Amino acid sequence: MTDSPEQDYDTGDVAVIGMSLRAPGARSKEQFWDNLVHGRESVSFLAKDDIHVDETLIHSPFYVRACGVLDTYDKFDPSVFGISDRMAAVMTPENRLFLESAWETLEDGGYDPDRLKAEIGMYGANNPQTAALYSSPPDRVSVGPEAIEASLAWSPDTMTSNALYYMGLTGEAVTVAAVCAGFHYSVHLACQSLLLGQTDMAIAGGSMVRLPHPRGHLWEENRVLSKDGHCRPFDANGTGTALSSGVVTVLLKPLGQAVADRDHIYAVVKGSAVNNNGVSAMAYGLAQPERLSACIANAMEVGGVTPDTVSMYEANGLGLPMTDELEVHAATMAFGKQTATTSIGGVKGNVGHGGVVSGGFGAIKAALALYHKKLPATINLTEVNPDLDFPSTPFVPQIEAANWEPQAGIRRAGITSIGGGGYNAHLLLEEAPTVAERAPEDEGRPRLATLSALDDDALARQCARLKDWLETNPELRLDDICFSLNLGRKVMARRWAAVVRSRAELIAALADDTARGPATTTAAAPQADPGSFSRNDNGIVPSGKDAQALSDLAAVWVTGQQVDFDALHLGEASHRVPLPTYPFQPRRFWRTDW
């Protein structure tokens, strides 16, 4: 990131400026990363009473009671989106999770949907089978508004259009069906749209809830599901993977524009490619090495990247020797002979196989590895499969976590996703551009920090989460924090504001229960005279930036007045930074509830 928009950037590069994830064992991308660097396995081994499938199936000697459980699979906070409880129950779990995740990734990028004047593309993959397992289609005998809304809420096809509608956005909406390569296909299509100028920003991702949930699987020899529930990528004793669920979304923008807009950049999409095996000598659904190799090579060619500069390869890695051998062979053909070594790993050992979102787990792992400059270990890998013949390939299994020090001088990662039915996809990510030297922060200058929520409880949790975040991330500048809060969050009825001169003052204000006022409803009487401020179409324009003017502005804002925060920050060079997203208050909604 840099303050110099004149700098040339590759016109084909796309910045990842926001991310959201829920995975087994992780309700956030931060928790997910912590699990990865500490080598935690998040596949659960279930008691019989926890599994909601046919009793005969559970008692089969080949039934494996392992699953990557998503503990929020049946919960949702409809109030944020103005959705009724009845409609929330009609919506499939994948629709609900994708909607909340899309909101989080937009906030993580520092954007308020109400203030966006842009075309936002929405691309997402889901599992069409989930809708049928969740409930029958709503009755379509009536074609009235309620029947139509219920049908669209249930339909897997309208997952992305629902997200646009309930977030108050406009743009393209494409729901993707590409089985387990769905996340990659969504990102690929989103990048194409951005580079063609059809959209200004794009949210891309996938949502998967395996029903019944939680559940295990039946083991069959030489199939992709594990005999003991553990996934062991590249291990001689691997027997496959376990099933899991999750949701992942990313916020994308052309790199040059992201830099000019002072966005926070996690990573850069250098290239992407997709293809299909079609007719193949391999069994239908297995990777076809020549076609997968062509897909990987194409992504590198699109990005103008040579294989010797790609030092991390995140494999599809099902943990079944036969499929791992096919993939390593394909990747070796794409990378060719080289002296550089590439770390190879597989996240399915941590979280199992998330279906349409499995590629998203790998992509977030790679993006965070680039961001933190660390390579997490591939867990459950104790005896490398000798048939993979790694010494004759460019790849070295990442058995232990390590700092990422690439020979090429730049960090790049390739992420492969393979779907049954011959779907191949590959993403090529690069670390974010180097941050240009910034002018020191104007210490001691008063700043206005704002928070809002639907109710007092959510507002209190907002304060607590932000306090913890600031204590954990001491490198964040106060000007960036206030800029991101004031312009990057939807304004709601219950409000909190503080005028502070330092991070320490902001943390103290957040920690002090008495400082959580003034928070009031929009119906309350103003505590300052709005007539002392000027107005425009965007609300009250601050009369100045001194402590008194900001205090008066805070007093007006918390009583429900609309403030032009763009005017407040006009002329500043602050950057958007990741901060805690809205604290959803999910409740259980399920087909038995309506």
Domain edges within the chain = 14-430, 468-569
Cα torsion angle, 404, 406, 409, 413, sign: negative
- Give the DSSP letter of residue 353: B
- Give the DSSP letter of residue 531: G
- The reported pLDDT for the residue numbered 74 is 96
Residue 34: alpha-carbon gap to chain centroid: 15
Q: Which CATH architecture has domain 468-569?
A: 2-Layer Sandwich (3.30)
Work out the widest C-alpha separation in the chain, in whole angstroms. 78
Supply the pTM of this predicted model.
0.95
Print pLDDT tens along the chain (594 aa): 334 444 678 899 999 999 999 999 999 999 999 999 999 999 999 998 888 777 788 889 999 999 999 999 999 999 999 999 989 999 999 999 999 999 999 999 999 999 999 999 999 999 999 999 998 877 665 667 777 788 888 999 999 999 999 999 999 999 999 999 999 999 999 999 999 999 999 999 999 999 999 999 999 998 999 999 999 999 999 999 999 999 999 999 999 999 999 999 999 999 999 999 998 767 777 789 999 999 999 999 999 999 999 999 999 999 999 999 999 999 999 999 877 799 999 999 999 999 999 999 999 999 999 999 999 999 999 999 999 999 999 999 999 999 999 999 999 999 999 999 999 999 999 999 998 888 999 989 999 999 999 999 999 999 999 999 999 999 999 999 999 999 999 999 999 999 999 999 999 999 985 444 444 433 334 445 555 678 888 889 888 899 999 999 999 999 999 999 999 999 999 999 999 999 999 999 997 543
Q: Does domain 14-430 have CATH number 3.40.140.80?
A: no
> What CA–CA distances, in Å, run from 509 to 87, 437, 502, 504, 552?
39, 30, 11, 9, 17
> What CA–CA distances, in Å, run from 120 to 14, 144, 260, 429?
15, 29, 18, 22
- The reported pLDDT for the residue numbered 50 is 86
- The reported pLDDT for the residue numbered 367 is 98
- The tokens of 301 are what? 């060619």
